Amino acid sequence: MEDVLEAYTRPYDPKRPLVCLDELPVQLIGETRPPQAVQPGQPERCDYEYVRNGVANLFLLSQPLVGQREVVVTERRTGVDWAHCIQDLVDRRHAEAETVVLVMDQLNTHSPAWLYEAFPPAEARRLSQKLEIHSTPKHGSWLNMAEIELSVLARQCLNCRILDMATPESEVPPGRTSATSAAARSIGALRRMMHASGSNASIHQLKIDRALALSAFIRVRFWWRSFLR
């Protein structure tokens, strides 16, 4: 846990960008009858029957220190899909970076071993050397800022019937969001708190600071309660 928090408190470095990664399966549901559009005094009406169109997967890449995120839509959620997402992250999104600091949970598909399943050994080795991985502890995936983003997206953008893979791409807006902005503010507050406790102090040594840090991230996790009021 302290390892992830320490990664969050590092100053922003474009050569070592901090990226949080998480994923979310989305069920694709079609209509059996055209829904009735909204009219004055009457909400939209949809038939309770539906058609299953399969499942899509959303990879969310969040940069909490700059308040930005991107979403990648894939047909499946496998280790090979994760490997291709990592290749795109390293070679396109952060091609100028020396190392990508990656925060993610301990899902079995989130492992550098899948890079060797998807690519030749030389390419897999090159990609793995560009990553600095920080895994959240078991039952502590809420420390991953990308999980906060997915929670917000599920409520604001994906709380409807998703017809096909093109729908999530159009429903998810790109760029800056309130969740990542709130996360960046909390990280800034955490940094100030650690500096006030002493420049040579560590989270391991400061139990009070660790409790305050966890409290700050819990507030970020539930920020949407006040936002949706």
Q: What is the pLDDT of residue 87?
A: 94
Q: What is the pLDDT of residue 154?
A: 78
Assigned token pair, 204: 């391991």
Beta bridge partners of 51: 30
- The CA–CA distances, whole Å, from 95 to 12, 16, 92, 163, 226 equal 17, 11, 5, 34, 38
Residues 177-205, buried b or exposed e (16+ Cβ, 10 A)?
bebbebbbebbeebeebbeebeeeeebee
* Structural domains in the chain plus CATH codes: 2-30+48-227 (3.30.420)
Contacts of 45 (CB under 8 A, 6+ apart): 35, 36
The DSSP annotation for 180-203 comes to HHHHHHHHHHHHHHHHHT-TT--T
pLDDT by residue, tens only, the chain of 229 residues: 888 888 888 899 999 999 999 998 887 877 778 888 888 988 888 877 778 878 888 899 989 888 888 888 888 889 999 999 999 999 988 999 999 999 998 888 999 999 999 999 999 999 999 999 999 988 888 888 888 888 888 777 776 766 666 655 555 555 544 444 444 444 444 444 444 444 444 444 444 344 444 444 444 444 444 444 4
pTM of this prediction?
0.67
Q: Residue length, the chain?
A: 229
| 158 secondary structure, DSSP code | S
pLDDT digits (tens, 9 = 90+) for 106-151: 888 999 999 999 999 999 999 999 999 999 988 888 888 888 888 8
| Percentage of the chain lying above the pLDDT 90 cut | 25
